[in-house]
Amino acid sequence: MADVDVIIVGAGPAGLSAATELKRLGVARVLVLDREAAAGGIPRHCLHSPYGMREWHRVMFGPAYARRLTDEAQAAGAEIRCRTTVTALRPGGKVEVSTPDGLQVLQGRAVLLATGARETSRAARLVGGTKPGGVMNTATLQGFAAFADHLPFRRPVIVGTELVSFSAMITCLTHGARPVAMIDAGPGPTARAIMTLAPRMLGIPLRFGTKIAAIHGRSRVDGITVEAPEGPQDIACDGVVFTGGFRPENALLRTSALQVDPGSLGPSIDQYGRLSDPAYFAAGNVLHAIETAGWCWDEGRKVARTIDAALHGALPPRAEVGIRTEGAAIKYALPQVISPVGETPPAFDRMQLRLTRPYSGDVGIGGTSHRIDSRPERRILLPLPLSGQGA
Window from 173-187, 262-276, 318-332 with minimum mean pLDDT: 318-332
Residues 169, 161: Cα–Cα separation, whole Å: 10
Average pLDDT of span 213-239: 96
Cβ proximity of 117 and 286 under 8 Å: yes
Measured distance CA(356)–CA(379) in Å, rounded: 12
Q: What is the DSSP letter of 357?
A: S
Could you tell me where the DSSP H helices lie in the chain?
13-24, 53-56, 62-76, 138-143, 163-174, 197-201, 251-254, 293-311
Q: Say if residue 139's pLDDT is above 70.
A: yes
d(CA 240, CA 131): 11
Average pLDDT, the chain: 93
Quick one: pLDDT at residue 287? 97
The pLDDT, as a whole number, for residue 390 is 39
More confident residue, 328 or 305: 305
Contacts of 345 (CB under 8 A, 6+ apart): 305
DSSP 8-class letter at 353: E
- The answer, yes or no, to whether residue 385 has pLDDT greater than 90, is no
Q: How many whole angstroms separate alpha carbon 151 and alpha carbon 332?
A: 36
Q: Is residue 386 predicted with pLDDT exceeding 80? A: no
Write the pLDDT tens digit of every residue in 5-31.
999 999 999 999 999 999 999 999 999
pLDDT digits (tens, 9 = 90+) for 150-168: 899 999 999 999 989 998 9
In this prediction, residues 240-259 reach a mean pLDDT of 95
185-198: average pLDDT: 90
Q: What domains, with CATH codes, occur in the chain?
A: 2-118+247-321 (3.50.50.60), 128-242 (3.50.50.60)
Give 79-108 pLDDT, tens digit per residue. 999 999 999 999 999 999 999 999 999 999
* pTM of the predicted structure, to 2 decimals: 0.90
> What pLDDT does residue 45 have?
83
pLDDT at 388: 40
pLDDT for the residue 121: 87
Q: What is the mean pLDDT of residues 99-127?
A: 94
- Interval 342-359 mean pLDDT: 93
362 strand-pairing partners: 371
**Residue 1 confidence class, pLDDT cut points 50, 70, 90:** low
The CA distance from 343 to 305, in Å, is 12
Amino acid 350: pLDDT: 95
When pLDDT is cut at 50, 70 and 90, the band that residue 148 belongs to is: confident
- On whether the CB atoms of residues 17 and 304 are closer than 8 A, the answer is yes
For every residue of 27-79, DSSP letters joined together read: -S-EEEE-SSSSSS-GGGG-----BSHHHHSS-B-HHHHHHHHHHHHHHHT-E
pLDDT band at 2 (very low <50, low <70, confident <90, very high): low
For residue 387, pLDDT over 60 is answered with no
Residue 381 carries which side chain, given as an amino acid letter? L
Confidence band of 389 (pLDDT split at 50, 70, 90): very low
Q: Which pLDDT does position 357 carry in this prediction? A: 86
Mean pLDDT of 244-268: 95
